Amino acid sequence: MINFILMVNKQGQTRLAQYFQFLSVKERMTLEGELIRKCLSRSETQCSFLEHRGYKIIYRRYASLYFIIGMDLEEENEMAYLEFIHNLVETLDKYFENVCELDIMFNIEKAHYILEEMVMNGQIVETNKTQVLAPIHVLDKAKDE
Amino acid sequence: MFHLSQMDQIFLKSLADVVRTSRTTSQYDKLTFTTQTIADIKNEIQSRQESVRYQALLKLFFLAMEGNNIRWAEFQIINLMGSGDFQLKLGAQLAAHLVIDNQSQGLIMVTNVFIKEFKCGHVECSTTLSCLGTIANKDLSDNLLTHVLKLTTNTKPLIRKKAIAVLSKIFTINPMNISGNLEMVIQQLQKETNISVLACGISLFCSVLKVAPKLYPLFLSIVYDQISKQKSNWLLIKLVRISNKLISLEPRFQGKLIEHYTRLLNQTNSKSLQYELIYSIMKYFKNHSQLYESAGDILKQFLNHQDPNLRCLGLECLTHISTSAGLMEFQEQILESFKKSDYFSKLQILQLFKDFTNQQNFQTVIEFFLKHSDLESNHKIIESLIFIITKDKFINVDDPEKLLLIYIPVIAQKIDTIDNAIRFKEMLFELLTRVPGLKVYSDQLCNQILQTYATQSDSLQGPTLNIVQRHTQLKYSLNHREIIFKSLIMIVGESVKLLKLEALTNIIQFLEQLNILNCYESSLSDIDSLLFKIYIQIIKTDPQNEIIPQIEQLIKNIYNKLHNISIVKISFFYESLIQNKSKDQLQELQNLYEEDLPPINLEAQKFIKPPEGLDLSKSFQIDIEEIEKIKNTNSEYIEQKQLIQQQQQQQQSDSNQKEQEDQNNQIERRQENEEELKQFNNKVDPSPKKVFKINRDEELPPGIDQNDIKKFKEEE
């Protein structure tokens, strides 16, 4: 089960955070700060998997943004989640057309909506980009009208 | 609620304004900016205009990402969930997980809102289901269960998939809801064709198995059906994962899956699916050689891959092999990948070898890791090697002599932390205790290790261990080298009786070096006691007095170099002993302390001047009865003393016989040791070597008596 999904930039500023178990604001800030420091200290030759505070962490870097998933330590397929991160980025890229950090900052509710379509209750429910973006296109059409 | 004037609306800050201002604000002004923004949001969120409330909600989102507490907005957000405007509702539902937890009071209000939303269009319904999946607690899930169950039969796959995903949370929170409802869901899933819905169904089964594993028979047929016909990699990964759980509950299910696993393994190119299959096969399919071999081939590719992620996953897979024979098959690939790996992967590999090293690969493993240690991972490598050596009372060690003389000196040179130095010390003591014949090599071991210590001048560099002696409260600091040095000195001291004269002389010559004495100041008392033991041993074994003068000179040189006052005090006795050159005087000392001193020594009065006016011939005692009593007690004492003396004489004659036998045994042992040393010095590796038996019993090892231990204690 996924416990949290984060998008954090190199300065340690969180651009998107989805937690599937409740943590206080202080706990979240501490966790995010520690995670980004750990990810920044790793080189490109090192693997994208590590353990931190009882979570299995899978991360991937896209330009200045780190996409970080935290899971339970029990048996999980890290490779599948690494590919899911790429799937998420491709979906965001398809919607925003050449997605960047600012797109996520200025359209934060849409980024959250796309993520909620893909992950529910810590489980991946949809990976098809068309299916994920269909409801949001309906909303955009309704808004334009 | 209030209505913003047109003027106010002009100056209303949107999300974009807040983001831009936040990025340009300095750190010192951030707090002011945040406080001002929160104050604005509190006003705006109560506005009647939906656009204003929507903007306030977006700004709230942004502030939450920045790390600000927005739980004060719980009631407002719940209120917005019931709004007529879909955009507002959506924003509120997305923000719900930021402000609502299991114990929120406002959850009671949400029930009716959700029931109303479930009857709306499919987009509203799906967003509501997503929100419910995030914030559901026990009460909310019990209240909404029937509604969610109805939605599992909806015509839209979007609704069906989300309803099933919510059900997995409801069943986890309250397992009582499972009975009666799960069968209905399974029946629907058996007819289901949409992959996303099926994937959610498999996730539901996984959640139920965690909470109620005995219900596994309900899932077997559906999982088997899907695994035989599905082509979606995501779904197959979930199916293989749930199959692992089902196999652990029902082992007969394993046989049904062999054919499908073989097909999938041969056909798929997806690395994540391959990894899932390999993981499952390594853990559960060891008895099926063909499948196991094909998985092993793919695993080898993972271990040799350029991508560090695949190498890391390959290693993680290997932890489930759980046999040494299994690990041996992949040993080459693992050791190759160690050279390219990062620190985290190296730790994984070390853990593997800690668990699965055996006698067959022991030497290969030790030699490899000693060769490939680097600065970052050196301390972990040494720690792992010491663990491998000492595991199960040296069960992996087949050649203790080689270990002691070749590998241990190299390990000692590589130690750079105090923890490892202490582990090394304990390992050395245990090895020498369990293998009786090894103490003979203690001087060679010392020489090999201490030679490097003598050449390097970094004596007290690095972290130190602070020690306070119990009886003296003396405080001193030791670094890792000194800990090893002390332990080696102690080992040599205990094996002094087994060493040759030449070896003992070499040790004293080594200790004479000034840099050793300066570097290891805290160990001077240990050096002192070692010198004393060596000196006593040399006196016993050199009856012709050939080497003693040379040794005495060396020891004197050492004491001359020592300027430490406490050591001078301790060694005062030793120095005076050395000055007594004749052996007879030493024997006299021995005789002096062996006999009981009589109550009155007639000759003492020769040296003690009696006081003036004292008449020695005059008796002290006037009372005649008292005088007779004293005479009687004295005569009784003298009789008893004679009896004791007779007994002691008998004991002495017995002990003399024993000593003669011991000396004969020692001579035989020395001859054997000389032969062994000859063999080692020739560096010939004869097949019929002396077999060192490692005593793994917890009692005393053979060759060591209680009397020996007592003697050591007395000497110390």
**Per-chain mean pLDDT for chain B:** 77
pLDDT digit string (tens) for B601-645?
Answer: 566 656 666 667 766 666 666 667 766 776 676 666 677 777 777
pLDDT over threshold 60, residue B672: yes
Q: How confident is the model at residue B594 (pLDDT cuts 50, 70, 90)?
A: low
Partner residue facing B272 (CB), from A47, A77, A112: A77
Say if the ipTM goes beyond 0.90: yes
pLDDT over threshold 80, residue B349: yes
Residue B467, strand partner residues: B476
- Mean pLDDT computed over B143-167: 91
Query: What is the reported pLDDT for A93?
Result: 93
Give the residue, B635 or B653, on which the prediction is more confident. Answer: B653
Distance from CA of A79 to the nearest CA of B (A): 5
Contacting residues of B for A141, CB less than 8 Å apart:
none
CB distance B168–A16 less than 8 Å? no
Give the residue, B308 or B375, on which the prediction is more confident. Answer: B308
pLDDT digit string (tens) for B229-286?
Answer: 888 899 999 999 999 999 989 989 888 899 999 999 988 889 999 999 998 988 888 8
pLDDT over threshold 50, residue B681: no
**Cα separation, B394 vs B404, whole angstroms:** 12
pLDDT digit string (tens) for B362-379?
Answer: 888 888 888 888 777 888
Query: What is the reported pLDDT for B686?
Result: 45
Q: How confident is the model at residue B403 (pLDDT cuts 50, 70, 90)?
A: confident
Q: Which residues 91-130 of A have a C-beta within 8 angstroms of B?
A: 105-106, 108-109, 112-113, 116-117, 120-121, 123-128
For the ranges B226-235, B558-567, B568-577, the lowest mean pLDDT is seen at B568-577
Give the residue, B326 or B421, on which the prediction is more confident. Answer: B421
Give the residue, B700 or B63, on which the prediction is more confident. Answer: B63
Distance from CA of B194 to the nearest CA of A (A): 11
**Cα separation, A30 vs A24, whole angstroms:** 10
Reference B152, options B179, B190, B108; nearest CA is B190
Amino acid identity of residue B607, one-letter, is F
Partner residue facing A106 (CB), from B19, B123, B196: B19
- Cβ contacts below 8 Å, chain A against chain B, sum to 134
Q: How confident is the model at residue B198 (pLDDT cuts 50, 70, 90)?
A: very high
pLDDT over threshold 50, residue B467: yes
Query: What is the reported pLDDT for B123?
Result: 84
Query: What is the reported pLDDT for B671?
Result: 67
Query: What is the reported pLDDT for B200?
Result: 92
Supply the DSSP symbol for B2: B
Query: What is the reported pLDDT for B685?
Result: 44
Give the residue, B359 or B589, on which the prediction is more confident. Answer: B359
Give the residue, A144 or B180, on which the prediction is more confident. Answer: B180
Give the residue, B708 or A98, on which the prediction is more confident. Answer: A98
B229 Cβ neighbours under 8 A, 6+ residues apart: none
- Mean pLDDT computed over B516-534: 74
| Buried-state track B478-510, b at ≥16 Cβ within 10 A, e below 16 | bbbbbbbbbbbbbbbbbbbbbbeeebbbbbbee
Please state, for a pLDDT cut of 90, what percent of chain B lies above it.
8
Supply the DSSP symbol for B623: -
pLDDT over threshold 50, residue B458: no
CB distance B123–A139 less than 8 Å? yes
pTM for this prediction: 0.69
Query: Which residue of chain B comes nearest to A116, CA vs CA?
Result: B130
Q: Which residues 21-50 of A have a C-beta within 8 angstroms of B?
A: 22, 25, 28-29, 42-43, 45-50
**Cα separation, A7 vs A36, whole angstroms:** 10
pLDDT over threshold 90, residue B454: no
Low-confidence ranges of chain A (pLDDT < 70): 75, 145
A20 in B contact zone (CB under 8 Å)? yes
Query: What is the reported pLDDT for B586?
Result: 59
Strands B475-478 and B465-468 come out as antiparallel
Give the residue, B461 or B67, on which the prediction is more confident. Answer: B67
Partner residue facing B165 (CB), from A80, A120, A128: A120
Query: What is the reported pLDDT for B683?
Result: 43
Contacting residues of A for B278, CB less than 8 Å apart:
none
- Mean pLDDT computed over B78-95: 82
Query: A67 phi and psi, to 5 degrees?
Result: -95, 120
What SS3 class is residue A67? strand
Distances (CA, A) of A56 to A68, B179, B314, B353: 10, 33, 17, 23
**Cα separation, B95 vs B71, whole angstroms:** 11
CB distance B123–A128 less than 8 Å? no
